[in-house]
Structure 1
Amino acid sequence: MSHRLAATVAAAVLSFAGSAAAQEAQSSATETARNTRADDGDLAEVIVTGTRAKNRTVLDSPVPVDVLTAQDLRSAASVGGELGQALQVLLPSFNFPRQSNSGGADHVRAAQLRGLSPDQVLVLVNGKRRHTSALVNDSSKIGRGTAAVDFNSIPVSAIKRIEVLRDGAGAQYGSDAVAGVINVILDDGAEGGELSASYGGYHTHQDAIDKTTTDGQNVFYSAKAGAAIGDGGFIRAGAEYKDRNPTNRAGFDGFDDVPGRRNYAMGDGEARDVNAWFNSDLPFSFGEAYAFGTYNTRDTTGYAFYRYPDAERPIFPEGYLPQSLGENTDISASAGLRGDFASAWTYDASLTHGRNKFESAVQRTINTSLGAASPTYFNTGDYELRQSLANLDFTRALNLGGRNFLLALGGEYRYENYVTGAGDEASYAGTGADGASGLRPSDTSDIDRNVFGVYLDLSGDLTDKLFVDIATRYEDYDDAGDKLTGKLSARYQLVDAVALRGAVSNNFRAPSLTQIGFQSTTSNFGDGGVLVDVRTLSVNDPIARALGARDLKPETSENFSLGVTGQLSDRLDVSLDVFQINIDDRVTLSQRLGSDALEDFVEDNFGVSGVHDVVFFSNAANTRTRGAELVSNYRQPLFAGKLLVTTSYTYNKTKVRSTQAIPGQLTDLDITETDLVGVEERNTLTDATPRDRFIVNATWNSPRWGLLGRVTRHGKTTRVFNFGGGYEPTQTYDARWQLDAEVSYRVTQNLSFAVGGNNLTDNYPERSSDEINYGGNLPYDVLSPIGSNGAYYYGRAAFTF
């Protein structure tokens, strides 16, 4: 692509440098909250997430809230402008591993908060619920069995700030907010704009093959601008383009008769994104109208497992490496009215629609049952999730007993629809496409649901020292039942500098439509490490029903947190929070279940051949997660600039309290496993995620120069495989340190440049053992957040006007 395009954009940036005067972006007159942390780390401004009170800041919030500014995100999203990657760099409780050879997770990466499942965090944009991906990650390690919000479909240049609530909040925001809430607040400047371009790539020494490599080049371009509308209104809009080259960290193939060949691929696949967004507000005499939206389209590639030479494959007699393809389209838009009425009340009425469509394909493979007539490219199916919401919210101030309180109440109607489409006939006929058999017409779904919810929230100062927030919510799903949730949070000022805070709540997460209706077939390791096709069955599928699958129930949780905050001086603040989250009826994919008797049963009763190994969803586990989180900020004027040092640490440990036994129908088919949740899935729920992470982030900014240094310690992870027959190789990977740095220089008030690097010491995860590395082909595991790509270097230019 691209050096020509990079040069063109750079020239455009430079051409503006001498022609425009600096214009400070003005905030909207209707803005509900200001940026919560200025460049010097001031935490005294108002937040809007975690409490509906209008005067809470980060330190006097009754629950822990992290705030990330646009400048934080700009430096942290250096690897191709990925929002998810930026959040992992900045938040120790946020995990966003780079999956590879992991089916759908090669295309849509899932994130975790507090070590819980990706679908147990609620994502908002400007306070409105964000839809999830339509694709279930059925072959990944982290996020297996979930359809998560696709963070990388949200343009990073569109963001003014992000507020991360680390606490259960179902009573305040609804289903899914078990681990917490991430609220993305869009840029709302009425004037000015920015052009930005960055280029980077990996330069690393691969110990597995003893070779120095440069690959994975990323180009990222963004543009945005705003304009005033009427008296106090605005519209702000922008676009992004991202292009990523692949990386490969595979080792030499120990299974190949010819030594020194690399038949596999391990790393990032190719990716190309186009993003667009807008945010707007128009005041009227009776209030204001607002609208905002995002759009993303992404083409991606992923890696499958190599197929060795076989006489039955005449098209690729020397072997081949199937490659998965994804075309992802993501749209979200909201519009509403808000204002005052009846003197004391405010209202906010809005409509939101979100849609994600994922079209899957596979290339460089064959359908062996079709012989020489087989195509080598197959459409394997498409998945689409649609979500529409109507919200009506009211607030008013109350005076009770001479003290001021805020009453908030409202309701929500949500409609969800999940539709899947079949692949090419050649993709599922006979044995199906090797590596990614397509959806059959009988596998497709078209299911929907209606959800109604109402809530009530009252907050205020009971005494001069005690702030209390109490909330309750009732939700009714027409397919999953109803639930009443509640939350009590409070903050008590012990002395001027120190306060206690805590919360208790119960939360609710209905199984997603994707978990109810998703079906697919992928390849994975079977007995003895041999590749086998594994079929994921919907719980509505007749085969799954015959094998004992049942309707999914909602997950329920109890959340407890207790913390202390201290404004120890004008320059130093500290917070420490501990928490416990008990979750019952967790929705998980079962372990792989297979036998010759099962294969014969399916063929005899349903006429479907080749179904030897299956998985399906169930409410099979009850878990308990305990943890602690520490955050400190230190500010210091230094050398005509300002120094900010943020230190953060998180620890969490999940324990499986109980699991479900396999149904009797499976026992009758010679299935020897005893639990639906096997050792691999227990590993996914408990210690596949780093148990702890430690980050020290230091920034120094002056009118001309900016310096950033960041040291991160990623904690231990553990991988467990079940290769059958009691063979369950296990390896714990040691902690790894990562060093990131950036230097920026402002040439003029409008033009700036930056250079930097991530993982500058070129660290890799610990090498996998011979039991796990699949003949040396996969030398590194995907679990470590440091990834297996090595050192990354980048440069960035930005022009503001």
Structure 2
Amino acid sequence: PAVFAFGGSYMAESYEVVSGDPASYAVGPYAAKDPWDLCNADMTAAPNGLTAIAGGSTLDCSNSSDPVYTAVGVGSNGFPGNSPQFIGTFERESFGIFGELSAEFTDKLFMQGALRYEDYEDFGSEIVYQVAGRYEFSDNVAFRGSVGTGFRAPTPGQQGTINVSTRLPDGVPIAQGLFPPGGPVAAALGATGLKPETAQNYTFGFTAAFGDLDLTIDYYRIDIDDRTNAISPLTVSTDPTSGAAFANFQALDSAGVAGANTIGAVQYFTNAFDSRTEGFDIVASYPLDFGNAGTTTLSAAMNYTENSFESDPSQFLNSENQYDFINGDPQWRGIFTGTYNVGDFSLVARLSWFGEATNSNTGGTGPNGLRFQNLPNFFQTDLEGQWQINDMLRLSVGGRNLLDAFPDRDTISDFCCGRIYSSGTVVPWQGGYYYARLRADF
């Protein structure tokens, strides 16, 4: 028999950036160099400076590194508020309609096809599809596969978000962070409006049953065009000898960006590159029956994932970010689980494995001036016991990362602000978590 399904969707999205208290973004006197006219243009002490020196000040106008020439960040603290130039409401409406048809063409062949039309008021329309099939080669073995396309419009948040903080490289406070691609800061440095991502995906695999052992192996590939990604930081400096960094400052200053002289680095979202993600999944399960002593299910799930660039990303990503995109996360991952049930009690034990990876940072002697840290295999143990007290109450006690394991600490000074572990990796880094939970179903 054939089965046909159809439907539709409507979505209204809104992302609002509100203004902070004026004091949180105000450009104060210390956002400019020498706000009290202590030094002359020829780097000699002005009358105010001579008075300060006579009073015991260590002011040295002839030294360009003297604190008098330091412009500190805008705002009342390390995370300045949003100024009026960044506030706004980012809204859009979209709708979609879809249809799906599935049918068993023979006793062995099952096919499924789906078609979806989406229309976004800010990014136009697109038609995407997926075709999938399954063929039973025998009673115990079946092959399956699919091919399809995808479409993802940038979210209002990606178009309007701002995340700026004040950092202290070399002891000098500067503002750096992520700016909206359509805002004045990013636009002054070459940002353009975001485009939708499009994708093509393929899968092929098989399922098999060998007695009580169930096994599935699937290959997958996802090609993404115009992938949205934050660019590598663009350095900004008021030092005329700093090359591109000074050119960035001039661009910001010419665009009338408030506090341009206190901005140290700029990032924004853009359609940075085309990418390919491919790999395979292996899943196996095996049940054990101990009669009155209970039952156990053993399962293992392993994944291998490989990322690659399908276009040149060097316009938007520096060497470090390119290397980390390929190598920064483990390519291998495995989850091994045992579930034991007897009466009203159950016990779940899980071992998670994260394979080796490599992190990079600048300032090294390796290729492209990088230095590297090899991250070894990481293992995490989880354990949970459950007791079904009655039809309504269930008690659970357990721990995630039971042995309180941590990945290797950073040895190449890649993270700021006191962090010693990478918070951008899939490897857990927050240590053990232990809990007791009582659930009531009414």
TM-score normalised according to structure 1 size: 0.45
Alpha-carbon contact 2:189-2:252 (below 8 Å) kept: no
Please state whether the residue corresponding to 1:658 is helix, strand or coil. Answer: coil
Aligned to 2:383: 741
Query: Is residue 2:142 matched to residue 1:499?
Result: yes
Structure 1 residue aligned with 2:224? 583
Report deviation, 1:753: 4.0
Q: Which residue of 2 aligns with 1:422?
A: 19
Cα shift readout 1:45-94 (whole Å, capped 9, x = no counterpart): xxxxxxxxxxxxxxxxxxxxxxxxxxxxxxxxxxxxxxxxxxxxxxxxxx
Aligned-partner SS, 1:697: strand
SS in 2 for 1:442: coil
Partner of 1:686: 326
Q: Does the 8 A contact of 1:505 with 1:558 survive in 2?
A: yes
Q: Distance in 2 between matches of 1:607 and 1:544?
A: 10
- Report what 2:360 is aligned to: 720
- Which residue in the other structure is 1:21 paired with? none
- 1:679·1:721 contact (CA, 8 Å) conserved in 2? no
Rounded Cα–Cα distance in structure 1 between residues aligned with 2:320 and 2:360: 6
- 2:270 pairs, out of 618, 621, 635, with 618
Residue matched to 2:350 = 710
Name the structure 2 match of 1:603. Answer: 253
Q: For residues 384 and 296 of structure 2, what CA distance do their matches in structure 1 show?
A: 14
Question: Following TM superposition, by how much is the alpha carbon of 1:754 offset from its aligned partner in structure 2, in angstroms?
Answer: 4.1
The answer on 1:479 being equivalent to 2:122 is: yes
In the other structure, the counterpart of 1:44 is none
Equivalent residue in structure 1 for 2:406, among 760, 764, 787: 764
SS in 2 for 1:600: helix
8 Å CA contact retained: 1:522, 1:535: yes
Displacement of 1:678 in angstroms is 2.1
Q: 2:204 aligns with which of 553, 557, 562?
A: 562
Structure 1 residue 516, shift from structure 2 partner:
1.3
Write the distance in 2 (CA, Å) between the matches of 1:724 and 1:614. 23
How far apart are residue 680 of structure 1 and its match?
Answer: 4.3
Deviation at 1:525, TM superposition (A): 7.7
Indicate the residue corresponding to 2:283 in structure 1: 631
Does the C-alpha gap of structure 1 residues 529 and 686 become closer, same or farther in structure 2, counting only changes over 3 Å? farther
For 1:419 and 1:702, locate their aligned partners in 2 and report how far apart those are by CA, in whole Å.
52
- The one-character-per-residue Cα deviations of 1:190-219 (angstroms, maximum 9, x if unpaired) are xxxxxxxxxxxxxxxxxxxxxxxxxxxxxx
2 CA distance for matches of 1:723 and 1:529? 19
The Cα shift of 1:683 comes to 4.6
Q: Summarize the Cα distance change of 1:739–1:424 in structure 2 as closer, same or farther, 3 Å threshold.
A: same
- CA shift at 1:705, angstroms? 2.7
Aligned to 2:79: 436
Distance 1:724 1:593, change over 3 A: farther
Quick check: 1:489–1:504 contact (8 Å CA) kept in 2? yes
Q: Helix, strand or coil: the match of 1:721?
A: strand
Distance change in 2, residues 1:786/1:552 (3 Å)? closer
Correspondence 1:230-629 to 2 at 5 A: 404-430=1-27, 431-523=74-166, 532-569=174-211, 571-594=212-235, 595-609=245-259, 610-629=262-281
Tell whether 2:305 aligns with 1:652: yes
Given candidates 332, 336, 342, the residue that maps to 1:696 is 336
| Secondary structure in structure 1 of the residue aligned to 2:255 | helix
Match of 1:367 in 2: none
Q: 2:287, 2:297 within 8 Å by CA — same for their partners in 1?
A: yes
- 1:598 Cα deviation from its structure 2 partner: 2.0
In the alignment, the residues of structure 2 paired with residue 513 and residue 747 of structure 1 have an alpha-carbon distance, to the nearest angstrom, of 47
Question: Is this contact kept in 1: 2:184–2:257, CA < 8 A?
Answer: no
Q: 1:465 to 1:414 in 2, by over 3 A?
A: same
Task: State the alpha-carbon separation in 1 of the partners of residues 214 and 146 from structure 2.
Answer: 21
Partner amino acid, structure 2, of 1:598: N
1:411 Cα deviation (Å)?
2.7
Residue equivalent to 1:184: none
Report SS of the residue matched to 1:690: coil
Relative distance call for 1:708 and 1:520 in structure 2 (3 A) is closer
- 1:438, 1:520 within 8 Å by CA — same for their partners in 2? no
CA–CA distance in structure 1, aligned partners of residues 188 and 397 of structure 2: 59
Q: Structure 1 residues 768 and 542 mapped into 2: Cα distance closer, same or farther (>3 Å)?
A: closer
**C-alpha distance in structure 2 between counterparts of 1:607 and 1:745, whole Å:** 61
The runs of 5 or more residues in structure 2 that have no matched partner are 28-73, 236-244
Deviations 1:477-498 (A, max 9, x none): 2211221211110000000111
Q: Structure 1 pair 799/615, CA: closer, same or farther in 2 (3 Å)?
A: closer
Give the aligned residue type for 1:412.
S
| CA–CA separation in structure 2 for the residues paired with 1:783 and 1:500 | 36
Match of 2:372 in 1: 730
SS in 2 for 1:712: strand
Distance in 2 between residues matched to 1:752 and 1:605, nearest whole Å = 62
Q: Distance in 2 between matches of 1:738 and 1:499?
A: 34
Deviation at 1:465, TM superposition (A): 0.7
| Structure 2 Cα separation of the partners of residues 778 and 479 of structure 1 | 39
Cα distance in 2 for residues equivalent to 1:698 and 1:481: 49
User: What CA distance in whole angstroms lies between the structure 2 residues aligned with 1:650 and 1:578?
Assistant: 10
Root-mean-square deviation (Å): 2.7
CA distance in 2, matches of 1:535, 1:712: 34
| Residues in 2 aligned to 1:602 and 1:693: alpha-carbon distance in whole angstroms | 44
SS of residue in 2 equivalent to 1:699: strand
Name the amino acid aligned to 2:347. Answer: L
Q: How many residues align?
A: 382
Q: Which residue identity lines up with residue 602 of structure 1 in the other structure? A: L
Contact 2:188 2:252 in 1 (8 A): no
CA contact (8 A) 1:462 1:468 kept: yes
Alpha-carbon distance in structure 1 between the residues aligned to 2:363 and 2:232 = 12
Q: What TM-score, normalized to structure 2?
A: 0.79
The answer for unaligned runs of 5 or more in structure 1 is 1-403, 661-673
Structure 1 distance, partners of 2:106, 2:150, is 28
Separation in 2, partners of 1:446, 1:593: 26
Identity %: 31
Secondary structure at the aligned position of 1:682 is classed as helix
How much has 1:468 moved relative to structure 2? 0.5
CA contact (8 A) 1:717 1:783 kept: no
Q: Which amino acid aligns with 1:632?
A: A
Q: Could you tell me whether the CA contact under 8 Å between 1:488 and 1:503 is conserved in 2?
A: yes
Q: 1:514 to 1:753 in 2, by over 3 A?
A: closer
Distance 2:419 2:184 in 1: 37
Could you say if the C-alpha distance between residues 525 and 618 of structure 1 is closer, same or farther in structure 2, counting changes exceeding 3 Å? farther
Q: How far 1:542 sits from its partner (Å)?
A: 3.3
The whole-number CA distance in structure 2 between the counterparts of 1:607 and 1:478 is: 30
Equivalent position SS for 1:768: coil
C-alpha offsets along residues 335-361 of structure 1, whole Å, 9 cap, x if unaligned?
Answer: xxxxxxxxxxxxxxxxxxxxxxxxxxx
- Matched position secondary structure for 2:107: coil
Q: Deviations over 1:112-159 (max 9, x none)?
A: xxxxxxxxxxxxxxxxxxxxxxxxxxxxxxxxxxxxxxxxxxxxxxxx
State the alpha-carbon separation in 2 of the partners of residues 644 and 437 from structure 1.
53
Cα shift readout 1:752-776 (whole Å, capped 9, x = no counterpart): 544333323332101221534669x
Cα deviations by residue, 1:308-336 (Å, 9 ceiling, x for unpaired): xxxxxxxxxxxxxxxxxxxxxxxxxxxxx
1:501 and 1:457 mapped to 2: Cα distance?
18
